[in-house]
Amino acid sequence: MRGLREALRDGEGAQEGQLTQSMSRLQGGPQRQIDLLREGESLSLAEELKVLSGQDVMACFQCGECSSSCQMTGFKGFSPAKLMHELQLGREEVLRRRSYEICLHCFICSVRCPQGLSFPDVATALSNIAARRYGAGRVERAFLEELSGKGFLNPAILAMKSLGISVVNASGIRGLRLVPLILERGRVRDDLLREVRRVVGRG
């Protein structure tokens, strides 16, 4: 069986380090690709991303269209083009910095990319890789905390927790007068909440 590294590369004239092999050459579908990844082959971050997302970051030629299209460019130093360049250089600190979590997944950059690359898909794959190597990030922890605690998600609270913003503020304290009404009408049934917690715990 061919190794994953060889399957990802074009065996005829590809320059060293360049990923040009089509994902269709990885037979067996997405699950087989992930199984190969788990076999312990030493892969670069770019190669691992290609397996998980189907996106070849080495194809990016740094035109900057993604960053100029992104409404989040500049927020906390975020730049899709810069992040793609760091991935091309194999800088693993991208995983620990987690700046890719700023991506809103609006896919405007994907539509405008001349290479047809999808940065949101890259960001999702980075999140999965980082969670596997370093544990769940702030966004994932906030999601699980909200879901297992209440049985449903409040997008506003989830966003604040994901950004590290304290949920209880002056307006929140004033809102405590609504607690009796929430308990009476808006609470998830205990049996449903237990089922949600069971599913979250199993995952």
CA atoms within 13 A on the CB side of 77: 6
Which pLDDT score, from 0 to 100, does residue 175 have? Answer: 56
Q: Which residues of the chain carry a pLDDT beneath 50? A: 1-2, 7-8, 10-29, 32, 170
Which residues make Cβ contacts (< 8 Å) with residue 25, sequence separation at least 6?
Answer: 7
pLDDT, residue 174, reads 57
- What's the token pair of residue 130? 């980082």
Tell me the average pLDDT of the chain: 75
SS3 79: coil
| Residue 76 burial (10 A CB sphere; 0-12, 13-18, 19+) | exposed
Q: Are residues 73 and 156 in the same domain?
A: no
Provide the number of structural domains found in the chain: 2
Range of the domain at 170: 138-202
Report, in angstroms and rounded to the nearest whole number, the Rg of the chain calculated over CA atoms: 21
Q: What are the percentages of helix, strand and coil residues in the chain, rounded to 5?
A: 65, 0, 35
Measured in residues, the chain has a length of: 203
- pLDDT at res. 33: 52
Per residue in 154-175, pLDDT (tens digit) is 777 777 777 666 665 545 555 5
CATH at 112: 1.10.1060
Same domain, 45 and 109: yes
What pLDDT score was predicted for residue 60?
A: 97
Residue 120 shares a structural domain with residue 144 = no
Residue 84, pLDDT score? 97
Residue 86: what pLDDT? Answer: 96
Query: Rounded to an integer, what distance in angstroms lies between the CA atom of residue 115 and that of residue 100?
Result: 20
Q: Are residues 187 and 108 in the same domain?
A: no
Looking at the fold, whether 189 and 120 belong to one and the same domain comes out as no
The reported pLDDT for the residue numbered 1 is: 40
Q: Residue 25 in contact with residue 36, Cβ under 8 Å?
A: no
Task: Report how far Cα 18 is from the mean position of its chain's Cα atoms.
Answer: 24
Looking at residue 186, its pLDDT comes to 54
Residue 130 sits in the same domain as residue 142: no
pLDDT attached to residue 24: 39
How much is the pLDDT for 192?
A: 66
What pLDDT is recorded for position 72? 92
pLDDT reported for residue 38: 58
pLDDT at residue 120, rounded to an integer = 95
